[in-house]
Amino acid sequence: MTTKLPFAELHAFCDGDAPHTGNPAAVVALEDELDDETLAGIARSNNLSETAYLLADGADHWRLRWFTPGAEVDFCGHATLAAGAWLLGNGSVAGDVASFSTRSGPMSVTRTATPGLYAMDFPAIAVKRLENRPDGIDGLGVGAVEVFELVRAEPWPWYLAVFDSARTVAALSPDMRRLKESGALWSVTAAGGTGSDFVSRLFAQAIGIDEDPVTGSAHCALAPFWAERLGKDVLSARQTGPRPGHLIVKAGSAAPADGRVGLEGRARLFVEGRLYL
């Protein structure tokens, strides 16, 4: 018997109304729980950086899981934005807030007064400075000014390399084989950039992605990091690379709550239909 599931692809944290920007995410609405092997297989078939799975769990509330083509992850910001924007746009939410239960705790996507702009309430991620350079950092190709490690509960390490300029970050051409061998995720960042307070990129060979276009979870660390450094609680951020994108990040006094960060971004619907199993 064929199972048909509602499916959409959205481009999250897109660059205004520009097409083919931001980070593509698939969203699948489940009627019942599916086994992990099936969920992983769908994600591999979609071959996008993330596939988000929704299972209704009360009024305006869903259980949410995220799979890359290579693994399930504990947190994905852009696929959460895609899921919330899709639900809010297709009439599935009675109010203005889509709420989610996830492996990383409660999350939400809220419709703002600006059409097409959504606000998210996510857990903040702390960083700790490293005195010694981690294995594999030479794969970035250019020496970083400072290196930090994100304090989080994923099974792989995640490093934050700070560079001297946005131009240096844009010009990076890493050795992907070397980064994969490190078994780590690598965020790279610098202050400045055209129309932004800071820029970043993310290389994620550890989970099967050469370069993730615009990464919400990375900004849960970047937001408090740059807010403290720049003395600003509301910042404009750009993730550069092959598919650039833009978002507003809120930390400190502008954060939704203590230990949380606020992210605001847009999401464009690209494909909508049915997935057949």
- Which range has the worst mean pLDDT, 39-43, 60-64, 66-70? 66-70
What number is the average pLDDT over the span 174-194? Answer: 94
Of 9, 50, 211, 264, the catalytic one is 50
Pair 239, 203: CB distance under 8 Å:
no
Q: Where are the beta strands (DSSP E) in 105-255?
A: 105-111, 117-123, 126-129, 146-151, 158-162, 185-191, 198-204, 209-212, 234-239, 245-250
- How large is the average pLDDT for residues 38-59? 96
**154 or 74, which is more confident:** 74
Per-residue confidence (pLDDT) for residue 194, from 0 to 100: 84
Please tell me the predicted confidence (pLDDT) of residue 242.
83
Per-residue pLDDT tens over the stretch 236-266: 999 998 899 999 999 999 999 999 999 999 9
Region at 164 (left for phi over 0; alpha for psi -120 to 50; beta for the rest): alpha
Q: Could you confirm whether 228 is annotated as catalytic?
A: no
> Is residue 93 helix, strand or coil?
coil
Inter-residue long-range contacts of 168-175, CB under 8 Å, 24+ positions, other chains counted: 168/142, 169/199, 169/200, 169/201, 169/240, 170/199, 170/240, 171/142, 172/140, 172/141, 172/142, 172/201, 173/141, 174/139, 174/140, 174/141, 174/203, 175/138, 175/139, 175/141
Domains identified in the chain and CATH numbers: 4-118+265-276 (3.10.310.10), 126-263 (3.10.310.10)
Q: How far from 245 is each of 3, 159, 172, 275, CA to CA, in Å?
A: 35, 21, 17, 28
Average pLDDT, the chain: 94
Q: Is the pLDDT of residue 108 over 90?
A: yes
Please tell me the predicted confidence (pLDDT) of residue 214. Answer: 92
Q: What is the arithmetic mean of pLDDT over 40-50?
A: 95
The pLDDT, as a whole number, for residue 2 is: 85
Residue 189 burial (CB < 10 Å; 0-12/13-18/19+)? buried
Nearest to 116 by CA among 153, 159, 86: 86
